[in-house]
Homo-oligomer: A and B are copies of this chain.
Amino acid sequence: VRTSRAEAFSDGVLAIAITLLILEVRVPAEVAEGALPRVLAHQWPSYASYAVSFAIIGIIWVNHHAMFDRVAEMTRGLLFLNLGLLMSVSFLPFPTALLADYVRGGANSHVAAAVYSANMTLIGLMFLALWAYLARNSRILAAGFTAEDARSSFRRTVWGPVLYGASIGLAYWNALACLVLYGALAVYFVLPYGVSRSGSRDD
């Protein structure tokens, strides 16, 4: 019972975080007669970062779902690690808006992309911490799952924070490249091979 309520709460937080993203796409104000098409086209980074962050949170939901399918019992430790994960995912609308506003911002673009990359790295580390916790507390895993399965999910999850951590460096080279990379990673995860690496039951 407790597992299902923690899952429902997590689903709620993720559903809200994903839907709040649209609030960062703002309607332009005081646009000159006939200039709206150009102004709307000019704010393409808002649409792009909306789509990328929406896809990323959607994938996080799928992975979160796959992880908790393997958990039979909630512990206090798991509850608070999960809260840590939710805190880091709920923060994503901020770097999303930051990146949208500054991706073309010259010197400022680098820190905007680095903040986004750092947030994604933190999310990846939280997933790692959760898998490590499950590997060490395998008695709470659902029937049919072992500590070795959790360790295997841990190993497959490692490359996430590594890749996103590396993208902090990329941010200092080119912020737009970061946005493209995030989008490419999201598309990759949506493909069958991508998702199976992150611990879906049917890999």
Residue numbers of A with Cβ under 8 A of B are 2, 5, 7-9, 11-25, 27, 29, 31, 33-37, 40, 50-51, 54-55, 58, 61-62, 65, 69, 76, 79-80, 83, 86-87, 90-91, 93-94, 97-98, 101-102, 105-108, 111-112, 115, 190, 192, 195, 200, 202
Contacts and interface: CB of A to CB of B under 8 A. Distances in A.
Copy count, this protein chain: 4
30 contacts: A5-B11, A9-B11, A9-B15, A13-B18, A16-B19, A18-B86, A19-B90, A20-B23, A22-B91, A23-B23, A24-B27, A27-B97, A31-B105, A33-B106, A33-B107, A34-B106, A34-B108, A35-B108, A36-B105, A36-B108, A37-B111, A40-B98, A51-B87, A54-B83, A54-B90, A55-B83, A55-B87, A58-B87, A62-B79, A76-B202
Contacts of A86: 18, 58
Nearest 7 CB-CB pairings of A with B = A12-B15, A36-B108, A16-B19, A34-B107, A58-B83, A37-B111, A27-B97
A19 B22 CA distance: 13
